Structure 1
Amino acid sequence: MIDRVWPGRRLLLAWPGTRPLGAGAARPAWLAGVRAASNSSSSKRWNQRQQNDHYRKEAVLQGLRSRAAYKLLQLDHQYKLFRPGMTVVDLGFAPGSWSQVAVDRTSPGGRVVGVDILPCAPPKGASAIQGNFLAPATQDSLRQYVRDHDRGRPVARDGAAPAYLELEREQAAADAAADAGDAGADGTGAGPDADKVVDLVLSDMSDPWPLVEYPWIRTLSQPHYRMANTSGIGVRDHAMSMDLCDAALTFAVDMLKVDGHFVCKFFSGPEEKLLEARLKRMFRTVKRNKPEASRKASREMFFVATRRKKNVSYEDVYLTSERVW
């Protein structure tokens, strides 16, 4: 039997074969410990931090799904990541604040596709695929989706004339295809970068730590909080972040256009230098950044890699032909 207490009401749930607690029934000792934990000093500090968080307040006022949107806005202000009409892939998009920023910055005519292991409705103007990005099947589904030029784009109203910007983008795409054809070794237009269709890859992925107990405590049962928090084991958090960054980079090798950009979150550790070296083989500029909106206590940082080089293959980036993801 579990006794759950919510603000303003009391709910008694009994497991099959047990009796609900009566008014005079003794409460389990472990339940008293849970109640005490929910009112602990750490919980009070967390609540106080949330109430005093400037970015959280601004996110609520602006209709953003989380304060993380301001991290991407600050990175965009510094590195000019977005432009209208781009195709953006947002890995680990839940709860969707980065996708909200991407939709706003790429309109009109842009498309944003999010991928997350959590079930989450995408924000207006974006599309979503639910699945584990470390699974090859999920990556294949994403590749098929973005290779279809019309999927995920706004649909023009019947009878409406195409907008000037839309015509301009179509002409730019035709010119880019012609340039790729000139670069092809066989003169047929099938250059090594001709099938790249993504302009920007964003990776804010984290490994969710498992929910094993206390499912009625909101700070634990809310999956987006579990995705945002680290496990407290530095080696584990760093290793998993490197795996997720490598999976995102492998996708970028296959699908990112020449002069496209790449942003990934990571937790500091010994392998970050290897990741940085891979990024430098693929991009013209690679920077580390910790946005102002990122809490000082957080160990997260971001690699911002801009302007992908021409004719860079997986073997050039990883110095091996054996693919991991």
Structure 2
Amino acid sequence: MLSESPRSPDHAGVLRAAEKIAAILPPTPLLPVEIGGVTCHVKAENLQPVGAFKIRGGWHRLSDLTDEEKARGVVAVSSGNHAQGVAWAARRLGIKATIVMPRDAPQVKLDATRALGTEVVLYQRPGEDRDEVAAKIIEQNGAVLVHAFNDPWVIEGQGSMGIEMTTQLGREPSRIVAPCGGGGMVSGLSLACPSSAIVPVEPVGWDMVGQALLAGEIVRAADDAPATICDALQPLATGHLVLSTLAGRSEPGVAVTDEEVRAAQRFAFSRLQLVVEPGGAAALAAALAGKVPVDSDTVLVISGGNADPAKFAKTIAGN
């Protein structure tokens, strides 16, 4: 099993991450959008250099490594977006990175990760435990684990988005609705914007963060969990650090269907001229389906745009 960091993320860490990220990246747009006669906002993280918000946590984590840790290199586990965030930061900082990715990850994400100069190690999903694959690599070469969500630096880095949107909106949002996989982003947002209602949105059958918040303990995905087009939102369970950070700070959230997600992708393309991958459209899907209320201070996070071209074209065509 992979060990957890003894440090806890906090608001001060989110502020420090926001300063570091602002020094190298421009803020992503906060765009007005009308839903049900109400104008709210979307935070377009799909416009990041790697096409997803994961660049935030990757940069905060890797840029905080000691020289000795940098020399050992890093290992990350990801279906694609965290992979690219870590690989982008590693290339900029001159750190060797190894990324453990599922064989069924979208080819566009596999290709983009390799193009950033990182080594990719594939595992079978379902069938193999990705954390065990990563643990073996760490045991062999002593690399530093950069967990996709259960890491204090990663959580703080993702939370930097909340500092940005507060500045852009002129106040903390009344509600932040965000796609949720392992829960790193919503954890960071809960620290960044303590007065905002935080609403995680997960695929039906993969609401492991929502179930964990209701149960007060880690819940693992069922062996017969349904297939979902949201490849980025399929961790088998959240982490203890995420759960402790979100406890008392986040609503259990809602779950969306594949068809609701496809409708949101079409909406984003036609109304906002944005290419959004399935998982990245989850929050917008929940709002469009009427599963979460919106007001003028609501922010919906569009978390990623690394869509498979052929599948995206079929979705936009309504197939």
TM > 0.5:
no
Instruction: Please identify the structure whose Cα radius of gyration is greater.
Output: 1
Greater relative contact order structure (CA < 8 Å, 6+ sep): 2
How does the TM-score come out when normalised to structure 2?
0.32
How does the TM-score come out when normalised to structure 1?
0.32
